[in-house]
Amino acid sequence: MKNVAVIGAGTMGNGIAHSFAQNGFKVHLIDVNRDNLKKGIQTIASNLDRMVAKEKITEQQKQDTLNNITPFTSIKEGIDYATLVVEAATENLDLKLKIFKELDEFCSSSAILATNTSSISITQIAAATSKPERVIGMHFMNPVPIMKLVEIIRGYNTSDVVTKTIMELSKTLGKDPVEVNDYPGFVANRILMPMLNESVETLYNGVAGVLEIDTVMKLGMAHPMGPLQLADFIGLDVCLSILNVMYDGFKNPKYAPCPLLVNMVRAGKLGVKSGEGFYDYSESRKAEKVAQQFLK
């Protein structure tokens, strides 16, 4: 289990590739978009540079990690000899089903197929393959190289052997795996997303402003960041997608996304990734912050 393919070079994908490569795995990082692939490798290199600067790893360990990663733009070529494939593409059911049909066609029959989905049914994804017992969820947390938790989600048909293998494998990455069953949102997002959604509702209803809501939760509940800031960090489009999955899955109105969240996503205000969400992350805002610090 030393040959791993990771599909998707975005935030989660490059973080997963980083974690495996740093722990001695040979990783094929796959993304059909060459620019995304290049950016993903650059992100890994930058994160490793920070670790070297903080003396958490040596320069040689950084080079060894980068040497363990090989980029591919073709799924068929990239999954050759992989004993584990971790899909970390966009949180879109149709896309994931398409990818898993390809994996089923081109992967070794003994390979374990994992998905990093944060809410979509593992059972439904596994149904796109001929061996659903070898499909499992590995829900890493962002930022992957730092966060310890991995939700290990077994689908309806996931075998005990595959579950045990992935639990043990996660530990070799320095992670703390937690086994959960396959229901919308699993554990992390089933609890987190309604809280974030309620925070948006609180803002929408005029109870308090963005900063006030986040301050209450940081100072009163000891959260490291406020819920609205966290939503920006996750991506408001991702939050909306997860809430919709849970709403569709449970048909319970408590999971219905707040209209403000829906409108912000429609307007392209997605949080950090777009430069604006509940907070402003634009270059002009950064310049303003620098000026304020200088004036102090």
Instruction: Give the pLDDT of residue 153.
Output: 98
Q: Answer yes or no: pTM beyond 0.85.
A: yes
Instruction: Give the pLDDT of residue 43.
Output: 97
Q: Beta strand 135-140 with 84-87: parallel, antiparallel or unpaired? A: unpaired
189 has catalytic annotation: yes
pLDDT in tens, 250-263: 999 999 999 999 99
- DSSP per position, 91-126: S-HHHHHHHHHHHHHHS-TT-EEEE--SSS-HHHHH
Instruction: Name the catalytic one among 68, 119, 139, 241.
Output: 139
Instruction: Give the pLDDT of residue 72.
Output: 97
From residue 124, how far is each of 92, 93, 180, 187 by CA, in Å? 12, 9, 16, 18
Share of the chain above pLDDT 70, in %: 95
The answer to whether 89 and 114 are in contact (CB under 8 A) is no
Composition of the chain by helix, strand, coil, percent to 5: 55, 15, 30
Cα 110–chain centre separation: 25
pLDDT in tens, 143-184: 999 999 999 999 999 999 999 999 999 999 999 999 999 999
pLDDT in tens, 54-72: 999 999 999 999 999 999 9
Cα–Cα dist 287/295, whole Å = 12
Sheet holding 135-140, edge to edge: 69-72, 26-30, 3-7, 84-87, 112-115, 135-140, 149-154, 176-181
3-state secondary structure of 135: strand
The list of the chain residues with pLDDT below 70 reads 284-296
Cα–Cα dist 140/4, whole Å = 15
244 has catalytic annotation: no
Instruction: Give the pLDDT of residue 99.
Output: 97
Instruction: Name the catalytic one among 47, 151, 197, 274.
Output: 151
Instruction: Name the catalytic one among 47, 119, 189, 241.
Output: 189
Residue 220, token pair as written in the block: 């009163």
Instruction: Name the catalytic one among 19, 47, 118, 274.
Output: 118
Instruction: Give the pLDDT of residue 287.
Output: 45
Instruction: Give the pLDDT of residue 161.
Output: 98
